[in-house]
Amino acid sequence: MRALAVEPSFGLENLQVVERPDPEPPGPGQVTLRMRAASINYRDLLMVQGHYNPKQALPLVPCSDGVGEVMALGAGVTGLTLGQRVAPIFAQGWIAGAQRNEYIRTTLGGPLDGTLCERMTVPAASVVPVPEHLSDEEAASLPCAGVTAWHALTGEAGGCGVTAGDVVLTLGTGGVSIFALQLGQLLGARVIVTSSRDDKLEQARALGAWQTVNYREVPEWGKRVKELTGGRGVDRVIEVGGAGTLPRSLQAVRPAGEISLIGVLSGTVKDLDVLPILMRGVRIQGVLVGSRSHFEAMNRAIETHGMRPVVDRVFPFDQARQAFKHLAAGRHVGKVCVRID
3-state secondary structure at position 237:
strand
Provide the terminal-to-terminal Cα distance of the chain, rounded to the nearest Å: 11
Q: At what angle do helices 42-49 and 320-329 cross, to 10 degrees?
A: 110
What's the average model confidence in pLDDT over 99-121?
96
DSSP 145: I
pLDDT-based confidence at residue 157 (cuts at 50, 70, 90)? very low
Where is pLDDT greater, at 284 or 179?
179
If pLDDT is split at 50, 70 and 90, which confidence band does 48 have? very high
pLDDT band at residue 103 under the 50/70/90 scheme:
very high
Q: Where in the chain is the domain with CATH 3.40.50.720?
A: 157-286
The structural architecture, per CATH, of the domain 157-286 is 3-Layer(aba) Sandwich (3.40)
Give the pairing of strands 30-40 and 335-339: antiparallel
CA-based nearest residue to 125, from 71, 73, 83: 73
Rounded Cα gap, residues 339 and 315, in angstroms: 6
Residue 156 has pLDDT above 90, yes or no: no
Task: Quote the mean pLDDT of the chain.
Answer: 94
Closest to 152 (Cα-Cα) out of 249, 66, 48: 249
What pLDDT does residue 122 have? 98
Query: Which CATH architecture is the domain 2-147+290-339 placed in?
Result: Alpha-Beta Complex (3.90)
Q: pLDDT tens digits for 276-309?
A: 787 788 999 889 999 999 999 999 999 999 999 9
All CATH 3.90.180.10 domain ranges of the chain, comma separated, are 2-147+290-339
pLDDT value of residue 167? 98
Out of 8-17, 53-62, 151-160, 229-238, which region has the weakest mean confidence (pLDDT)?
151-160
34 alpha-carbon distance from chain centroid: 22
* Beta bridge pairs of residue 2: 19
Q: What is the pLDDT of residues 228-265, one digit of tens each?
A: 999 999 999 999 988 889 999 999 999 999 999 996 65
Position 326 pLDDT exceeds 50: yes
Percent of the residues in the chain that have a pLDDT greater than 70, as a whole number: 96
Residue 265 has a pLDDT of 56
The neighbour count for residue 281, using CB atoms within 10 Å, is 11
**pLDDT above 70 for 267:** no
Cβ(174)–Cβ(315) below 8 Å? no
Signed CA dihedral, 85, 91, 302, 149: sign only: negative
- Virtual torsion, Cα 82, 87, 92, 94, nearest 10 deg: -110
pLDDT in tens, 72-87: 999 999 999 999 999 9
Report pLDDT for 158. Answer: 45
Dihedral sign for Cα atoms in the order 193, 198, 200, 204: positive
